[in-house]
């Protein structure tokens, strides 16, 4: 028996050592990928490549990309090779290369490379993650949703949410208690998106423990296991699909699908029309135009919910974070805060004190402050793209192979002293009417750029304007 156990142990150890050697050899070979293609690269570490451990990061991936961008630019490089574990990742440094990836040669980089699974994880199949023709057609249908006219129609809903917040803020001031401003602004974001995207009145300030608020937080607070699944989908999409990996928590999917089903059923049964995002989705659902997207006339409930869900994800966390940073910067720079306050008072005097869509649009300096916040604290710190067909980098003998991941460092561009003097300084004058004209294309893109830029850029900026008015 002892001999048998010893033999099994020896066999197991031999198999383990053989597998370890195979894995190490594979990584060693793949880590030479960029060297074989004459592309300068950052030396990778086993097994995470040029990344930090994604489960225990010390800084964000965007900051990591920003540091790699800066180091590569200081060496005079026009592009650099990175590794996500063993997967090659290409980063353009030169502005022309950035422009080519994001816009000029967009057809080579049309996909984001974000994992989704329509069958097992329906909420993951939204505009942000869809690929190719399906994304292009859906984008074309949703773009009219985010015009100034549509936003003006939704403004009343935003105003109502703002009133709830000001009443709650008055109560906080009377009690003289401290609060977590990011969480507070997240409540406002929850109310706005709940109203505009799902047609429900959340009033997070009156009921901070509402089901919608709790599930919303759950959707954004990812566990290490969920982060690992997202990375698996990014690194090996085919394997993730075979394993039916879901990146959206089951309870979140069930909750949002239930809300959407009930709201749609109620509106259609009672012939209710409302000036919100959901109404536009319903009009698309019932129009013949959707044949181009689905091959059938109607959106399914799952597809409707997925588009409303990404509207929620994009608006909730990025908005509350950016607004928090803006308030922080104004607290640090009292002169800027005072100038914003005076502008608000002056503009509202011409509108008899009325807060309206047009009065907010006239607050030019406030716009500058928000733009500078978005430069210094971009909600998107990097852009992800996937090369969908072999691409020869202009002016070089380098070919980016089909399937290669591409990362554009927005954080790096925003902090590049060649484009933004003294980039660590908070200076709204960078975006004055005179200076704004001097900003080169593609050096400032807090919501991305090109055909795949964030479709919600306009409403995001509008909501930022509105929230800051309420804070004074």
Annotated binding site: 454
421, 435 in Cβ contact below 8 A?
Answer: no
Instruction: Quote the tokens at residue 219.
Output: 């959707």
**Sign of the CA dihedral with 284 first, then 285, 288, and 290 last:** positive
Residues in the annotated binding site for heme: 454
Distance CA 55, CA 151 (A): 39
82-118 b/e with 16+ CB inside 10 Å = b? Answer: bbbbbbbbbbbbebebbbbbbbebeebbbbbbbbbbb
CA distance linking residue 63 with residue 415, whole number of Å: 11
- Backbone φ and ψ of 446, nearest 5°: -65, -20
The Cα-based distances of 168 to 179, 202, 207, 351 in angstroms read: 12, 14, 11, 25
Closest by CA to 69, choosing from 417, 385, 462, 363, is: 417
Burial class (CB in 10 A: 0-12, 13-18, 19+), 155: buried
Q: How many residues does the chain have?
A: 472
Pairing, β 405-409 against β 382-386? antiparallel
């Amino acid at each position: 028996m002892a001999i048998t156990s010893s033999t099994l142990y020896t066999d197991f150890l031999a198999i383990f050592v053989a597998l370890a050697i195979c894995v190490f050899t594979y990584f060693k070979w793949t880590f030479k990928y960029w060297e074989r293609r004459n592309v300068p690269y950052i030396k990778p570490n086993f097994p995470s490549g040029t990344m930090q451990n994604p489960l225990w990061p010390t800084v964000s991936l965007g900051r990591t990309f920003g540091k790699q961008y800066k180091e590569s630019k200081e060496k005079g490089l026009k592009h650099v090779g990175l590794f996500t574990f063993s997967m090659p990742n290409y980063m353009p440094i030169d502005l022309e290369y950035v422009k080519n990836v994001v816009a000029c040669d967009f057809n080579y980089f049309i996909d984001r490379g974000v994992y989704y699974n329509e069958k097992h994880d329906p909420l993951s199949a939204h505009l942000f993650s869809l690929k190719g023709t399906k994304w292009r057609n859906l984008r074309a249908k949703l773009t009219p949703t985010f015009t100034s006219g549509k936003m003006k129609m939704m403004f009343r809903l935003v105003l109502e949410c703002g009133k709830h917040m000001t009443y709650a803020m008055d109560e906080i001031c009377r009690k003289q208690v401290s609060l977590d401003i990011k969480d507070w602004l997240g409540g406002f974001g929850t109310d706005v998106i709940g109203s505009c995207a799902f047609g429900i009145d959340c009033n997070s300030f009156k009921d901070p423990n509402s089901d919608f608020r709790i599930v919303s937080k759950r959707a954004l607070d990812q566990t290490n296991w969920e982060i690992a699944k997202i990375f698996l989908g990014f690194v090996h999409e085919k394997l993730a699909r075979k394993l039916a990996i879901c990146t959206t928590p089951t309870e979140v999917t069930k909750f949002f699908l239930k809300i959407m089903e009930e709201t749609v059923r109620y509106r259609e049964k009672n012939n209710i029309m409302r000036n919100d995002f959901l109404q536009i989705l319903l009009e698309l659902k019932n129009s013949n135009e959707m044949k181009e997207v689905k091959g059938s006339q109607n959106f399914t409930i799952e597809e409707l919910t997925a588009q409303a869900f990404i509207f929620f994800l994009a608006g909730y966390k990025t908005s509350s974070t950016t607004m928090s940073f803006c308030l922080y910067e104004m607290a640090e720079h009292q002169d800027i805060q005072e100038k914003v306050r005076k502008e608000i008072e002056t503009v509202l005097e011409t509108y008899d004190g009325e807060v309206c869509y047009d009065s907010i649009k006239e607050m030019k300096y406030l716009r500058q402050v928000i733009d500078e916040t978005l430069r210094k604290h971009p909600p998107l710190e990097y852009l992800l793209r996937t090369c969908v067909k072999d691409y020869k980098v202009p002016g070089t003998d380098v070919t980016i192979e089909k399937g290669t991941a591409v990362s554009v460092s927005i954080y790096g561009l925003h902090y590049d002293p060649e484009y933004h003097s003294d980039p660590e300084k908070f200076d709204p004058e960078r975006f004055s009417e005179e200076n704004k004209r001097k900003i080169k294309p593609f050096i400032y893109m807090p919501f991305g750029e090109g055909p795949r830029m964030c479709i919600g850029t306009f409403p995001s900026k509008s909501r930022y304007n509105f929230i800051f008015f309420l804070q004074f």
